[in-house]
Chains A and B, each alone.
Chain A
Amino acid sequence: MTAYGVLRAEWVKFRSIRAMLGCLAGAVAAAGAYGYLFGMTAARDYLAAPAADRAAFDPTETAFRALVLAGVLVSAAGALTVTSEYAAGTMPVSVTAVPRRGLLLAGKGAVVALATFLIGPPLALLSFALSQAALAARGVPSAGFGDPGVPGALLGAGLFMGLVGLYGLALGFLLRRSAGAVSLGTFLLILPGMAGLFPEAVARWIVTWWPSAAGARLFAVHAGTEGLAPLAGAGVLTATVLGLLCAAAAVFHRRDA
C-alpha cells in the first residue's frame, strides 16, 4: 500500500468509468460550442456599437467565457470518481484495499487533479480559437495565440480546471450521490451568471468574490480594472477547494465506509 500503488489503482478506476469519458467529451463540446457562440454575440455587439465604444473593444474578453460552462462537466467528472463508487457499492472494497482513508482520498484527488489540469489548456485553446474565428469571420478585431497574456491564460485555464475537478471530487465525498453532487456543483459554479437577479451590491460581491467568478480570473488575459487580480482570484478558489477537501477528508475519515 504505497502512494504510487494507490495512484495506479485510482487511475485504473478512473479510466474504466465510461461516464468519465462522456463528461470530458462534453467539456470539449461545451468549450467549442459556447466559445463560438460567445464570439458571435461579441461580434454582433461590436458591429452595433458606436465608434467610441468600439475603441474599447477587447476581443479576448469573450475568449474564455465558455470555460466556466465546460467546468460544469469537469466538476461532474470529479464528483463521479467518488459517487460511482458509492452507487456501485465498491467503496467498502476500496477501503479494505486502502484502509488509510486519507491516502485513498489523496490518490483519487491526485488522479482527478492531474487529468482535469491536463484537459484545461486544450479546452481553453479550443474556446479561444473558435471565439476569435467567429470575430474574424465578421471582420471584427480578434486576438492571436501569441498576443500578450494569452499563453498565461491558457495555463491559468489548466489550473482552473484542476481546481474545479477537485471541487467536484470534494462534493462527491460530502454528498455521496451523483445527482446531488452534480446538481449542487453545477448550481454553485454558474451562480455568478445569475448575479443580475440579485440587488446590485450583492451582485457586485458575487461577481468579484464568488469562488467560481474569482477563479475565472485565472484565464483573464488582461488584468483590467474590475474584479480581483488573477492571483488573488486563484487564491479565493484554491482556499475554497482546500476547505471543501478538508471537510471531505474529515467526513470520509469519520463515517462508516
Chain B
Amino acid sequence: MIELRQLTKRYGEAAVVDGLTFDVRPGVVTGFLGPNGAGKSSTMRMILGLDRPTSGSATIGGRRYAGLPVPLREVGALLDAHAVHPRRTAFDHLLSLAYANGIGRRRVEEVLGLVGLADVAGRRPGGFSLGMKQRLGIAVALLGDPPVVLLDEPVNGLDPEGIRWIRTLTRSLAAEGRTVLVSSHLMSEMALTADHLVVIGRGRLIADIGLEAFVHSAAPQAVLVRTPDAPRLASLLWDAGAAVRPGAGDGLTVTGMSSAEVGGLAGAHGIVLHELTPWRASLEEAYLELTGDSVEFTASPAGVAS
C-alpha cells in the first residue's frame, strides 16, 4: 500500500505536484493518468525518495522509502528504460543492484529468464532495442520480488507485442496480490490494464475512482436506434420519459432509457428496428473531458491564434 498525503513539490513558485492525497491499494492495477507534464513522474520520484517533497509525505507500508532496510525487496520501480550504462552488460547491471540489496546471482539469472533476456545477459545494452531495454528495466523492478511495483510509462514506444507483454505482466502482478502503480498518458492503454484510476492534471488530483465508475461518471449512457419509423418511435420515447435527439440518417440517440427498454417499447408497438446499440462515451472522451482544463500546452485552431 502506497499512501500520499498532501504531497507537494515546488520549483520556486511553480508547483509540479500540488497537494496530492491518495492511496494505492494492493491486488489491483492502479492506473496513474494525466497529460504530459501533469506531475506523474515527479510523484513517482518522490515516492522513491529521489526527489525531496516541498511538503507532505509519501509512504510505503507506513514507511518512507529512504527508511526501508532493503528497498528492492519492498519496492520495484521502472522509471526510465534508457537508464542503463551502454557498456555494462545486462547481467552486471542487475548484479550490481542485486548485491547492494543482498540478493544473489541466482535471482539475477531468474529475472533475466522471467523477462526473456536470458540469451543476451552477457551483452551490452548499448545495442538493445527499446523493447529490450524496457524488459531490462522490468527485470530491475522485479529483482527483489517486491510487493509494491511502480512502472512509469512502461509501454511508451513499445511495439504491439511488447505492449501486450507489459499488459499481461502488470495484470498478473496485481493478481498475485501486489500493489501496482502504472503511469500513462494514454487512457486507451489504462482501460485495458487498470482496475482503478488516479487522474491528475497540473499536479492536482482530478479523480481517484474505479475504472467503471470513471466511465459512468464522465458521460451519460445513451442508446443508438435506427428505424424506418423514426418520428413515431421518437414520440413514443418522449412519452415514456426518455430524451431523444436525431442521430445520423434515420437514427435516434436516446438517453435516460436502457437499450432493453427501448427495444421493448418498439416491440410493443410493432415498430421495426434496424439497429439498437447501447453507447457510451469512449474512455478517451471521458478522460479528455476531465483533463481538458489541465493540459499544459494546447494547440489553438489554425487561423484563430491571436
A90 to B80, CA, bound (A): 9
Q: How far is the CA of A99 from the CA of B122 in the complex (A)?
A: 27
B83 touches A12 (CB 8 A): no
Q: How far, in whole Å, are A39 and B72 apart by their CA atoms in the complex?
A: 54
B92 at the binding interface (Cβ < 8 Å): yes
Interface residues as binary, B66-96 with A (CB distance below 8 Å gives 1, 0 otherwise): 1011111001010110111111110011011
Residues 1-23 of A at the B interface (beta carbon under 8 Å): 1-2, 5-6, 8-10, 12-13, 16-18
Q: With A1-B69, A16-B87 as given contacts, are A92 and B100 in contact (CB-CB < 8 Å)?
A: no
User: In this complex, which of B65, B69, B85 has the most chain A Cβ atoms within 10 angstroms of its Cβ?
Assistant: B85
Report the Cα distance A238→B70, complex, angstroms: 33
Chain A contacts for B80, CB-based, 8 A: 89, 92
Interface check B101, CB cutoff 8 A:
yes
Given A18-B87, A89-B82, A257-B50, verify A12-B96 contact (CB < 8 Å): yes
* B199 beta carbon closer than 8 Å to chain A: no
B37 in the interface, Cβ–Cβ < 8 Å?
no
A239 lies within 8 A of chain B by Cβ: no
Among A96, A97, A257, chain B packs the most CB atoms within 10 A around the CB of: A96
What residues of chain B lie closer than 8 Å to A53, measured between beta carbons?
Answer: none
Is B52 interfacial (CB 8 A cutoff)?
yes
A138 at the binding interface (Cβ < 8 Å): no
CB pair B99–A88 under 8 Å, yes or no, is no
Contact check, B96 vs A17: say whether CB atoms are below 8 A apart.
no
Q: Is A256 interfacial (CB 8 A cutoff)?
A: yes
- Chief secondary structure at chain B's binding surface: loop
Chain A residue nearest to B81 (CB atoms) is: A89
- Residues of A within 8 Å of B87, CB to CB, are 16-18
CA distance A10 to B51 in the complex (A): 22
Bound-complex Cα distance A6 to B71 (A): 13
Contact at B92–A97, with CB atoms within 8 Å? no
CB distance from B69 to the nearest CB of A (A): 6
| Contact indicator A10/B68 (Cβ below 8 Å) | no
- B283 within 8 Å of A (CB atoms): no
Assuming A1-B101, A84-B85, A98-B100, is B49 touching A92 (CB within 8 A)? no
Picked from A5, A100, A254, the residue with its CB within 8 Å of the CB of B102 is: A5
B48 part of interface (Cβ distance < 8 Å)? yes
Interface membership of B45, Cβ < 8 A: yes
Between B75, B80, B100, the greatest number of chain A beta carbons within 10 A of the residue's beta carbon is seen for B100
Q: Which residues of A contact B45 (CB under 8 A)?
A: 92, 256
- Give the Cβ gap from B11 to chain A, nearest Cβ, in Å: 10
Interface check B97, CB cutoff 8 A: yes
- Tell me if A88 and B100 are in contact (CB < 8 A): no
Q: Which residue of chain A lies nearest to B68 when distances are taken between CB atoms in the complex?
A: A99
Q: Check B187 for interface membership: any CB of A closer than 8 A.
A: no
Q: For the complex, what is the distance from the CA of A257 to the CA of B140, rounded to whole Å?
A: 18
Among B66, B84, B99, contact of A100 (Cβ-Cβ < 8 Å):
B66
Contacts of A1 in B (CB 8 A): 69-71, 100-102
Query: A85-119: which have CB < 8 Å to B?
Result: 85, 88-90, 92-100, 107
Q: A16 touching B100 by the CB < 8 A rule?
A: no
Q: Bound state CA distance, A240 and B206, in angstroms?
A: 52
* Chain A positions within 8 Å of B72 at CB level: 96-97
Q: Report the separation of the CA atoms of residues A146 and B9 in the bound assembly, to the nearest whole angstrom.
A: 63
Q: Is the CB of B88 within 8 A of A17?
A: yes
CA distance A16 to B301 in the complex (A): 52
Contact A16 B99 (CB under 8 A): no
Is the CB–CB distance between A93 and B65 below 8 Å?
no
Residues of B within 8 A of A94 (CB): 97, 100
Asked if residues A256 and B52 are in contact (CB atoms below 8 Å), the reply is yes
Would you call A93 and B97 a contact (CB within 8 A)? yes
Using a CB-CB cutoff of 8 Å, which residues 271-300 of chain B contact chain A?
Answer: none
B49 adjacent to A16 (CB under 8 Å)? no
CA distance A256 to B75 in the complex (A): 19
Q: Which residues of B contact A8 (CB under 8 A)?
A: 99-100
A–B pairs, 15, beta carbons within 8 Å:
A1-B101, A5-B102, A6-B99, A9-B97, A9-B99, A13-B88, A16-B88, A16-B89, A89-B80, A93-B140, A96-B49, A96-B65, A99-B68, A256-B45, A256-B51
